Structure 1
Amino acid sequence: MKKQRGVALSGLLFWSIVLVLVAVLGMKVAPTYIEYAKTLKDTKAVVAQVAPDASVTDVRKAFDKYAEIDHLAMPSSQLEIFKDGGKIVIEFAYEKRIPLFANVSLLIDYKGTTAGN
């Protein structure tokens, strides 16, 4: 006689619950990561756009324009702007708390800089 192959109902339910939980977690984390990626892209675009002798106020105004277009919640006052070797460098760091269920939440620290690559 041949052995039966397949998935038991209990196994199917277990893996479908695991898959749904991972999908829900991904749907909650993805928007925060997209916002971080937009912020990093906008800071790099600002550094490329402004002149090397631009003031901190000019850099903040340029970032505010990009942030308005991309609907970013991060104000330019949270940016650290300084010069390193004659080049403007922008750094930022913030944390996002994502509520999962009941009193359990996920805390993600985002950090970005325009220095280097």
Structure 2
Amino acid sequence: MNAVTRTSLVRPTSHRSAVRGITMIGLLFWAALVSMAGIVTLRVLPTVNEYYTILGAVEKISKTGGNTVPEIRAAFDRHKSIEYSITSVSGADLEITKNDERVVVSFGYDKEVELFGPVYLLIKYRGSSR
């Protein structure tokens, strides 16, 4: 009876289903994936901020900037001199049209973001006043 009790208390060591957790290679894989996503996010966020700044300026200028093309371009250049984050678009780059006596200001530009070494991310921004 003593031998039976001793064998029933010993746990089998060859059973692998009870072992759980992440391996070192899995941990390194997920760390590399999360860090790459973080690098891309940190490099792209300033360009997205610039796009929304330009879009807000264009919407404001289309409502209050003037009626002629030179007045609207000059108003955008004045707004650009105040707003430090606008570097990709100038007043000369704006496309200005009229739809039903309403001024519509459009813009478009490409932004290259260097990720690392020879790897770049190209983002094409387009926008228009409503």
Q: Provide the TM-score with structure 2 as the length reference.
A: 0.80
Q: Is 2:60 aligned against 1:45?
A: yes
* 1:66 matched to 2:79: yes
Task: List aligned pairs for 1:29-44, cutoff 5 A.
Answer: 29-44=44-59
Quick one: distance in 2 between partners of 1:14 and 1:107? Answer: 26
Is the 8 Å Cα contact of residues 112 and 122 (structure 2) preserved in structure 1?
Answer: yes
The residue type paired with residue 69 of structure 1 is: I
- For the 8 Å contact 2:110–2:125, the answer to whether it is kept is yes
Distance 1:11 1:30 in 2: 29
The residue aligned with 2:30 is 15
For the pair shown, the structure with the greater C-alpha radius of gyration is 2
> Is residue 89 of structure 2 the alignment partner of residue 89 of structure 1?
no
1:6 paired with 2:21, answer yes
Amino acid in the other structure paired with 1:67: K
Counterpart-to-counterpart distance in 1, 2:20 and 2:64: 62
Q: Which amino acid aligns with 2:68?
A: S
Contact in 1 for aligned 2:61/2:72 (Cα 8 Å): yes
3-state secondary structure, aligned to 1:3 = coil
Aligned length: 113
Query: Does the 8 Å contact 2:106/2:127 carry over to 1?
Result: yes
CA-based RMSD of the aligned residues comes to 1.5
Give 1:102 deviation, angstroms.
2.3
Q: Which runs of 4+ in 1 moved over 2 A?
A: none
